[in-house]
Amino acid sequence: MHGGDAVAAWDQQEHAAMDFAETDHRGAVMRGCRFIECSFHRADLGGIVTETCVFDRCDFSGTLLNSSIHNGSAFLNCRFRGTNLLGAEFRECKLTGSVLDEANLTAVRIIAGDWSYTNLRFQTLENLDLRKVRLAEADLYECNLTRADLRGADLSHANLDKARLEQADLRGANLEGIDLKGLTLRDTRLDLAQAVILSQCYGARVEYE
| Residue 209 confidence (pLDDT) | 64
| Residue 5 confidence (pLDDT) | 44
| Residue 125 confidence (pLDDT) | 95
| Residue 202 confidence (pLDDT) | 61
The 3-state DSSP class for residue 198 equals: helix
Indicate the residue type of 50. Answer: T
Phi, psi of 189 (to 5 degrees): -90, 125
Among 58-67, 116-125, 194-203, where is mean pLDDT lowest? 194-203
Q: Burial-class residue 39 by CB neighbours within 10 Å (0-12, 13-18, 19+).
A: buried
pTM of the complete model: 0.90
Phi, psi of 204 (to 5 degrees): -75, 150
Residue length, the chain? 209
User: Distance between terminal CA atoms of the chain?
Assistant: 70
The 3-state DSSP class for residue 23 equals: coil
Task: Give 106-152 pLDDT, tens digit per residue.
Answer: 999 999 999 999 999 999 999 999 999 999 999 999 999 999 999 99
Phi, psi of 191 (to 5 degrees): -85, 175
Task: Give 11-37 pLDDT, tens digit per residue.
Answer: 999 999 999 999 999 999 999 999 999
- The alpha-helical segments, DSSP class H, found in 5-129 are 5-9
| Residue 1 confidence (pLDDT) | 43
- The H or E element containing residue 75 is strand 74-76
Judge whether 117 and 97 are in contact, CB under 8 Å.
yes
Sheet holding 54-56, edge to edge: 14-16, 34-36, 54-56, 74-76
- The alpha-helical segments, DSSP class H, found in the chain are 5-9, 192-201
